[in-house]
Structure 1
Amino acid sequence: MNRRKLHLRFLATCCLAALQGCAMDPSALTEEEGLGSHEQAELGYNPGAGWNLVWQDEFDGTAVNGANWTVLTSNWDPVTNNCNFGTGELEFPRAQNVTVGGGKLVITAERTSDNPVDSRCTGYGPRSFYSGRLHTKGKVERQYGKLAASIKIPSGYGMWPAFWTLGANISSAGWPGSGEIDILEWHSNEPTWMKAATHWYNGGQADWGTGASGGYNLADSFHTYEVEWTSTSMVFRLDGNIVSNTYYHNETEFQQPHYIILNLALGGNWYGNPSPASIALPSGTRKTMEVEWVRWYQQGGGGSTGVSLTNPGFESGMTGWSTWSPNGTEAADFSETYNGGHSGAYHLSHWNNASPFEVWTYQPRSGLATGNYKVRAWVRKGGGFDIARLQAKTCGTCAPVFTDLGTYGNWTLVETPAIYVSGGYLELGFHTRASVGNSGNYIHMDDVELIRL
C-alpha cells in the first residue's frame, strides 16, 4: 500500500428516513430505528505480533485488478454451475456495478425494470435488481492465516452483504463438500450484529454459526471483519473484538486452500424469500457496499507456496515432461495450439483419433522439502475415458493421489488431494486411458502448479 490509511472514529445518532416506492417489512425497522452508528473510516489495522502480510488488495487503482479478481456478469455462476447462487437471491450481477475509485472497491445495487435473465437460468424468471459479485478463484487461493477486510455495508431491508470463502476444490467437490467460511453476513432485522458461519459436508449439510452485536448499527460506516484460521480452529472478530465462540474443527474442508468472495445480495432465503417489491431499494436509488482493503496474513510468512516447475504451460513443447505408456502409445500426448491455451498459445493434449491409448505424462521433482503438497492444473475435457486423472505419487510404483477429471467445456481449475512428501521426490501430471479410439474424445491441460501447503 502506497498511501497511508487515516484513522477516524466518531459516534453519531441517526434515524431512518422513510423510504418511498416500495412496501417495507415492518420488522425490518424494529432494531434499526434509533440506533447509533459507530463510524470508522479509512481504518488502520494491526494484525498483531507474528503476522506477516502475504497478499493484499488496497484498491488504489481505477479498475478491478484482474490478476486478483473475477467479476461475475450474470446470475449464473460458472464456478458452482448454479443459478441465483443456491440461495434464491434477486440480483443480476454485472461488471458495471463493480467499480474501483478513490481507494475503494464499490459494489452497487439498484432496482431495474430491464428484466435481465441468463439463458441458463430461464426457469427462475427475470431478476429485479442489478448488483455485483467477484471472487479470487484460480487467482488467490490460500490456506490458514488471518483474512481481514475493511468494509462499509448498506442499510435497509433485504440487503445481504457478504465477505466469505469457498474451498478451491468447489468444481470437483461441490457444495458443501468444498467447505464455506462466512466472515461477514448482515441482516437488516439485526443491524448491530456481525454474523459468521461455516458449512461443510458430514453425510449432508453441516453448519456452525456465531455472531456478535457491537451495540451500534454496522451499516453505513466502515468496520473491520476478520477470521483467524488454523488447522484446528477459527476465531472471528469485529473491529478487533472476538465474536462469541471459537469454532474448533477437524474437517478436511477447512484444511485446504480457499478463495475469497465479496458480494452484495438482495433478498433470498436468509430473508425468507421476500418479494422484490418489499426490498428497501426504490427505483432510481442506489445502495453500495464499499471495501477499502482485503488482506491475508500468515504467521511467519507461511501458507501455500508454489514450487517452480519446468515448462508448466507447455509453451516449450514437452520440455521438462516425461511420458510412460504400457502399450507404446506415447504419441497420444503432445503440445499443441489447437483451440488455444488457458494462457499462452500452447497446451498439453491427450488424444488419438482412431486408436486406443494409455499415457502417463509427468514431471519428476526432487529435492522437495518434507511436507504436504497439491497439484493444480487447468483442464478442458470432452468424451469418455476409462481413466482421466490429475495425479501425484512419491515413486514410480507408489499408489498415487488423484482427482478424476469431469467434463469441462471451459478451462476449469482442478487439484489433487494433498500428498505427503518425506523423501524429497514427487512425480506429478496426467494419466489417461481410452479403450476405444474416438475423434470426439479429448483432454487439454495447461498451467500446472505444484503447491506446498
Structure 2
Amino acid sequence: MKYFFGFVTLFSLTFIACKHEPDPEPTYKLVWSDEFEYTGLPDSTRWTYEVGFIRNREAQYYQPKRLENSKVENGHLIITALKDNFQSHPISSASVISKGKQDFMYGKVEVRAKMPDGKGAWPAIWTLGKNRDVVGWPACGEIDIMEWLGFAPQFVFGSLHKAGADGKDAPLISISPTITDLSTAFHTYTLEWDREQIRIFVDEFNYAIYKASDMTAAEWQQFTKPHYLLLNLAIGGTSGGTIDDTKFPFIFTVDYVRYYKKE
C-alpha cells in the first residue's frame, strides 16, 4: 500500500473503464472468513497487529490489542484513529493483519466496508507477500484491493506494487469511477486472483485488470506466492496529505472479510 502518489500524481491518473462482457462465472467455495459476529478485540485466531510507526511518514502510531483503536461490536470491525496522545504518541490507530494466521493465494477475497470522513484519512484493504521479511518490499509484491484518500472521497484505488528490473517499486494504479457515498454506505471490495491475472472490483464493477502477460516473468513471479491481508487506517503521510483535525475520530468500518477458492 502507500509508497506511491501524492497530490500531483493522483489527479494525473487516467481512468480507463475495464467493464467487459462478463466471463463465465467460476464456482467459488468459501474457505475462510470473519463475519465479526462477536464482541471485543479482533479474533486472535484470525488476526494480529502491526505496531508502531511503520511507513510513509504517517502520523499515527499503530496500537495492538487496544479496544479504543480496534474492536468488534454490532457485527462490525471498527478501526478508529484518535488524536489522544496515548503513550505520548499524538495519534493512535490500528492495522489489523492476518500474518501468521491466514495466507491468501489465488481465489477471491471480498471485504465489505465503509470509509471514514475527512481529509487526512487513508484506510486500506491490501495484501503483502508472506516472504516480505526475507526479500523485502517491493520484491514481496503488494496488492491494494482498496485505498481511499480523504481529500478525494469519491474514488477508491486498486493497485499492484512490484519490484522492477532495478529492484525499485514499479506500481500499476487504477482509479474507480465516481462513487458519492463511500463514507456513508457500505460497498464491497473484491480481489479475484489466478495464475494469469488479478482483477479488482468495487461492488460488481471491475475497474482494474493486471495480467501476467503484460509483465515480465520476474514481476509476475511476485504474485505467485502466498500473501497476507491487512486492514488499516493510516493518517496523513505521503498520500494521506493534510489532516483535518476537526474530523477526529476517523472511523473505518468493516462488515465482513471472506476468502473463496475455486472449486
TM-score of the superposed pair, with normalisation by structure 1: 0.48
Which residue of 2 is the match for residue 267 of structure 1?
236
More strand by share: 1
Which residue of 2 is the match for residue 247 of structure 1?
210
Cα distance in structure 2, aligned partners of 1:102 and 1:114:
26
* Contact map agreement 2:85 2:92 (CA 8 A) in 1: no
Which residue of 2 is the match for residue 132 of structure 1?
94
Are 2:54 and 1:85 equivalent residues in the alignment?
A: yes
The DSSP-based 3-state class of the residue aligned with 1:236 is strand
Mark the runs of 5 or more structure 1 residues left unpaired by the alignment: 1-26, 28-47, 76-83, 117-126, 301-453
Q: Which amino acid aligns with 2:77?
A: L
> In the comparison of the two structures, how many residue pairs are matched?
228
The DSSP-based 3-state class of the residue aligned with 1:160 is strand
Which residue of 2 is the match for residue 155 of structure 1?
117
Cα distance in structure 2, aligned partners of 1:248 and 1:52:
24
Which residue of 2 is the match for residue 191 of structure 1?
153
Mark the runs of 5 or more structure 2 residues left unpaired by the alignment: 1-6, 8-24
Alignment of 1:19-418 (within 5 A): 49-63=26-40, 64-72=42-50, 74-75=51-52, 84-94=53-63, 95-96=65-66, 97-114=69-86, 116=88, 127-202=89-164, 203=166, 204-243=168-207, 245-249=208-212, 250=217, 251-272=220-241, 274=242, 279-282=243-246, 285-300=248-263
Following superposition, the deviation at residue 216 of structure 1 comes to 1.6
The higher relative CO (CA closer than 8 Å, separation ≥ 6) is in 2
The DSSP-based 3-state class of the residue aligned with 2:170 is strand
Cα distance in structure 2, aligned partners of 1:177 and 1:108:
30
How big is the alpha-carbon RMSD for the aligned residues of Structure 1 and Structure 2? 1.8
- What percentage of residue pairs aligned between the two structures are identical? 32
Cα distance in structure 2, aligned partners of 1:239 and 1:200:
25
Q: Deviations over 1:173-204 (max 9, x none)?
A: 11001100001001123211110111111222
Cα distance in structure 1, aligned partners of 2:54 and 2:131:
17
Following superposition, the deviation at residue 115 of structure 1 comes to 6.1
Following superposition, the deviation at residue 114 of structure 1 comes to 4.4
Q: Which amino acid aligns with 1:169?
A: N
Following superposition, the deviation at residue 113 of structure 1 comes to 3.4
Following superposition, the deviation at residue 151 of structure 1 comes to 0.4
Cα distance in structure 1, aligned partners of 2:86 and 2:108:
41
The DSSP-based 3-state class of the residue aligned with 2:245 is coil
Cα distance in structure 1, aligned partners of 2:184 and 2:123:
12
* Contact map agreement 2:108 2:259 (CA 8 A) in 1: yes
* Contact map agreement 1:111 1:282 (CA 8 A) in 2: no
